[in-house]
Structure 1
Amino acid sequence: MSYSRVALTSGAAELLRRLRDEHGPLMFHQSGGCCDGSAPMCYPAGEFRTGNSDVHLGDLDVDGVAEAIPVWMSAAQFEYWKHTHLTIDVVPGRGSGFSLEAPEGVRFLIRSRLLTNEELTAFGLV
């Protein structure tokens, strides 16, 4: 069985299809900042530079989008969240001006749950 650390709601997937059509390939980065800095930020692929201080959480497959959408998190934040599964959702409201959904009047947010015992084992955390 294959396990993933990240998923999408259907509403987020619908928005990502529209953003992909407008901006091309996409990526997410989840930082450990405060306020809008703690929200998942959606960028054109490659516009946010990742490096050794980031962890690749996984790739989101969205129907109708040719390329998987990588999801990254700062390594420092990952230490706090490594026992959680993250689901990217979208809600009405204004988020950060840097994330691609900002002009749409909606914002991405993270819904989280603790990993199951099976997931913890699969990720080598027990």
Structure 2
Amino acid sequence: MTERTGQVDGQVDGVRRVDVSEAAAALLRDLTEEHGPLMFHQSGGCCDGSSPMCYPDGDFLTGPSDVHLGTLDIGAERPVDVWMSRSQFGYWKHTHLTIDVVPGRGAGFSVEAPRGVRFLIRSRLLTDAESDWLEEHEGAGT
């Protein structure tokens, strides 16, 4: 798994597990000004838990049951860490994820909720070369 190591902006030799759309990055910059440093967690539960939840950094405690997917460079002083429950990662480990934003009702505890928008994840399958590189360099913990 991509843990907090010597990576820069979650980049692993050009292969990233997670990115952010420009619209979501712009919103995250605004939310960072309002709430301070932020983080995402994707649990894979039902209802609100199936959406990426954005919290002030540290308001959601991560642990051994979570995987650090990388960090989003949003063009602000501090990038945004992205986490996923290890059980959900088991289903999504072969995908590249992009955090985007769309109009709609945000998840109850996610900081974008009062703005009439919500974060969502768009995904694509990793190429064979991306998967092979990540598997080789991230180790068996993935």
Could you tell me the TM-score, scaled by structure 1's length? 0.95
Alignment match of 1:17 (pick from 12, 26, 29): 29
The Cα offsets for residues 23-53 of structure 1, whole Å up to 9 and x where unpaired, read as 0000000001012211000000000000000
Query: Which of 39, 60, 64 does residue 52 from structure 1 map onto?
Result: 64
Secondary structure at the aligned position of 2:31 is classed as helix
Gaps of 5+ in 1: none
Q: How many residues get paired?
A: 124
Percent identity for Structure 1 against Structure 2: 67
Runs of 4+ with deviation above 4 angstroms: none
Q: How does 1:48-87 map to 2 (within 5 A)?
A: 48-63=60-75, 65-87=76-98
Matched, 1:39 2:39: no
Q: Which residue of 2 aligns with 1:26?
A: 38
Alignment of 1:87-126 (within 5 A): 87-124=98-135
CA-based RMSD of the aligned residues comes to 0.9
1:37 partner amino acid: G
- How far apart, CA to CA, are the structure 2 residues paired with 1:73 and 1:13? 19
Greater strand share, structure number: 1
* CA distance in structure 2 between the partners assigned to 1:116 and 1:62 by the alignment: 25
